[in-house]
Structure 1
Amino acid sequence: MSAHPGGPATAAPGTRRRPSRRLVRTVTVVASCLAVLAAAVVVGVRALGQEPTVTLLANWTQDDETNFRKAVIEPFERKYHIHVDYQGSNAESQVLGADVEAGTPPDVVVLTGPGELAEYARQKYLLPLEDLVDTGDFGDSWAKPLADGHVYWFPLKTDLKSIVWYPGDVGEQQRGQAAHEPAQWCVGMGSGATSGWPGTDWIEDILLQRYGPKLYEQWARGDLSWQSKQVKDAWKTWRDLVGAGGDPALVRRALTTPFGAVSRLVTTEPRGCTLEHQASFIRGQNAWRQARGRWSPSAPLLVGAPANRAWEVSADLVALLHTTPEARKLIRYLASADAQRAWGAETSGFSVHADVQPGSGGPDADWRVPLARTLRDKNEVHCFDASDAMPPAVRDAFAEATIEFLADRDHLEALLRSLDTLSRTSGLTWLPSVCARTPD
């Protein structure tokens, strides 16, 4: 006899009779047949194209994709009876470019690059969102109008980048010492088709913290030369911090280690490294959970400044390419507080939706709540990831240049000249601004 949730079962009244085993078996068989039939009907309807469907492309794969499906896609499908044909890819930009060229783009896309989205908007591939999304829920920092006055994207989740992670048992003095030892920085440059972007984050943040948001924005919109003293200084500071072109073993480790795997070095005995300059999403890695990872503002450790002058941020941005009824419903849903809250609960990313307030409880509240508040603080300056805001060709060349520079620091002058030449190419789409304060 099995136990009830509240304890042992009481004896059944004598007037009640157990169903026979034959009846139980019959009901079980019928139920199983109905379940199989229902599944077959769903598959058949989809195969015949009779179930409403919306196509969605994003960069979440593996565990992230599983969490996204469970937290966001499946509730949408249940509520609206619309199938989401989801494709996740680590080479999302390349996949989207090929689909657009072939004339088969997805209905909805989630990209990290506003610069890339601005180019698609200029080419009339994106549709304005003002009639679908209350952009005031996000503010100009995250749902910024382009020169034509239209808003073409909004954030599904956001991340803070101007931070450094360290194990929970490492004190402030130890962090200060580790920052001056290249071997103590956890650096992994690998990321498949987008390898090199961790290096761009370093250079961007160093420039932002040393010279402030005004100069940072000039550079991010193409108005400051890559060969300027300030930009060159940011590259050299990164070189000195991580040993670019110096210790061959450190360089080899950085060049051959994926960015998502380098965190494991904080859990080895002895530790392989102590500090990681990485966005807030990295806290979701098992290694940082095991090390009880904490974060510090980046400026004191990167440039010796007492506090951050501004905060570099990034976001996964939702955009619309086809205005089908199903796609419009998905856009509205992804912009809703419910969807944003659900996805934020499954990841280390954060929603900046006005109706999704930072949680105050849970075992991670000590690092999550201050981080979330920093992202939403209207008195703080938030600047979008500069390379993500640049035209795709410049963004990709920047990432490749960080890899070359890490391997051979004597190439810096040539690399910066090449980036200047590319940035002056006619026909590139540059965002008018990348820095703003967030609303209440």
Structure 2
Amino acid sequence: MLNRKAGLTALIGIAVAGLASGCLSSNSGSGPSAGTASGPGKSTIEVMYGLGPDTEPGFKLDVEKWAKDNGITVKFTKAASWDTEIRTRVQGGNAPDVGLFPQPGLMCDLAKQKKLVPFDAATVTTNKETLVPGIVEAGTCADGQVYGLPNEVSVKSVLWTDAPAFKAAGYTAPKTLDELLALTEKIKADGKTPWCIAAESGAATGWPITDWLEDLVLRFAGPENYDKWVKGELKNNSPEIKPAWEYFQKIAFGEGYVRGGTKSIVATNFQTGGNAMFTQPPGCFLFKQATFVANKGGFPDAVIAKLDTETGPLAFPAKTEGDNPVLIGGDIAAAFNNDANTLKLRNFIASKENGVEQAKNGAFSAHKTSDVSLLPNKTLQTIATEVLYKATAARFDGSDLMPAKVGAGTFWTEPVKWLSGQQDLDTTLNNIDDSFPKTGS
């Protein structure tokens, strides 16, 4: 899937953060009540989203088929800037019926303002039977209720290789983080460059590094401490979290480990930064990026055309073999009212029955029972079965869960200064920690 973070900026994120405690709190009113649906059901239901061009067509086809079968008309509204537009709509008393949130943190902010309707317990139980472990928790807010469940997800815990070159060099998939470091050193010892790492994204430069750190925190600290970390309850310089940064430091600052050197990371484009793998001789042998990179605009067109033979995706390894936490992104469905048909549509979007047409365009269902043969190539099918559906725990992108001034602010900008040689690791971690909103503020 395409990555929407590329269209964000830290300034937008910081400005939007202020709306939560300002505009919305002055217009909270009495929100929709939980419990059973009310009324006979609207004939037209509006669903609002910020889906990219790879996901939107399939989503509309899936929903339109459901709507036809249920005698309902669905109005599709695409937001160019999801955060800003959904807040404006809610503040103005003109919320859509259903919204697809790319950021659970924003969803829970609106839930706290009594603007959303939670899922009933029976629907949560049904979905939890087939969802990847941890998905339900991503849509659970501070009051313990589930307000959102996913339409689809992307998989971030992936290492890409040029399959023929990787095999010809005699390299094998690492099963643990220690083995990944050993592989890195072996590639260097062979006179080759192990890594392509890329973090340039215009005004949003730095966000790709957050995916690295989130995956590593999941592995070093574990899912429960990951949850505390994104809330600011565990600091980056704590003994639980700092080892993740130190591991990344070994790779990013290792002499001869990164193509172009450490300082090149923030100048190399996040979408095309791995394309050097496919040159002759290969410019690098490993590239960490989410599954969207296998779409047009990421890997070279010639590689995408032969994806199954030209690439060899590997699961980002665990700290201990057998453990398999997975980092994901995606869009989670939430309801703004308890109209009967609103809730039916929201529940369908979150169900295992949804996603047939989306899968054909490469979108992953969060339900382990989904038909992976619908995915358009063996590469994505392998990522689904060997990475996503084997997850021992899944967690949503941490920067999307953090307060905006951190997750779309200092968590992007401070690592850029570090990688550019402007400051050391401790300064970087302390600056991020200091930017978290103080409790009660």
TM-score by length of 1: 0.70
* SS of aligned partner of 1:338: coil
Per the alignment, do residues 186 and 103 of structure 1 end up closer, same or farther by CA in structure 2, a change over 3 Å counting? farther
The residue number in structure 2 matching 1:273 is: 284
Give the drift of 1:370.
6.0
Q: CA deviation at 1:153?
A: 0.4
1:196 Cα shift? Answer: 2.7
Which of 55, 62, 67 is the aligned partner of 1:64?
55
Match for residue 271 of structure 2?
Answer: 260
- 2:436 aligns with 423
1:386 aligns with 2:403: no
Query: Residues 236 and 433 of structure 2 are in contact (CA less than 8 Å); yes or no, is this contact kept in structure 1?
Result: yes
Greater Cα offset, 140-149 or 312-321: 140-149
3-state SS in 2 of match to 1:262:
coil
Residues 217-258 of structure 1 show CA distances to partners (whole Å, capped at 9, x for unaligned) of 442343222222443332233233134999895556543444
2:191 is the counterpart of 1:173: no
How far does the alpha carbon of each residue in 1:100-120 deviate from its partner, in whole angstroms, 9 at most, with x for none? 445444332222322222222
- Classify the secondary structure of the residue corresponding to 1:400: helix
- Corresponding position of 1:10: none
Whichever residue aligns with residue 142 of structure 1, its letter is I
Seen in structure 2, the aligned counterparts of structure 1 residues 298 and 421 have a Cα distance that, compared at 3 Å, is: same
Amino acid at match of 1:208: L
Does the aligned pair in 1 maintain the 2:324–2:390 contact within 8 Å? no
CA positional deviation for 1:361? 8.3
Counterpart residue number, 1:82? 73
Which stretch has the larger CA shift, 283-292 or 402-411?
283-292
Partner residue of 2:230 out of 190, 212, 220: 220
- Quick one: distance in 2 between partners of 1:250 and 1:96? 41
Quote the residue 1:403 is aligned against: 416
| Aligned match of 2:147 | 152
Structure 1 Cα separation of the partners of residues 343 and 375 of structure 2: 35
**1:231 aligns to what?**
241
TM-score (norm 2): 0.70
Q: CA-atom RMSD, angstroms?
A: 3.8
Is contact 2:313–2:383 with CA below 8 Å preserved after alignment?
no
Aligned AA for 1:228? S
Judging changes above 3 Å, is the alpha-carbon distance between structure 1 residues 366 and 120 closer, same or farther for their aligned structure 2 residues? same
- Distance change (3 Å), C-alpha of 1:128 and 1:193: farther
TM-aligned CA distance change 1:149 to 1:398, over 3 Å: same
1:346-376 alpha-carbon deviations (Å, 9 max, x no partner): 22x321336x334358883466246335433
Match among 112, 121, 126 for residue 111 of structure 2: 121
Letter in 2 for 1:236: E
Alpha-carbon contact 1:245-1:407 (below 8 Å) kept: no
* Contact 2:124/2:146 (8 A) holds in 1: no
**Aligned mates of 1:248, 1:263 — CA distance in 2:** 10
Matches of 1:254 and 1:55, distance apart in 2: 42
| Percentage of matched positions with identical amino acids | 24
- The verdict on how the C-alpha distance between 1:273 and 1:126 changes in structure 2, with shifts beyond 3 A counting, is farther
Answer yes or no: is the 8 Å Cα contact 1:350–1:372 preserved in 2. Answer: no
Alignment partner, residue 319 of structure 1: 334
Aligned-partner Cα distance in 2 for 1:373–1:189? 26
1 CA distance for matches of 2:210 and 2:352?
32
Q: From the CA coordinates, give the structure whose radius of gyration is larger.
A: 1
Unaligned runs of 5+ in 2: 1-41, 174-179
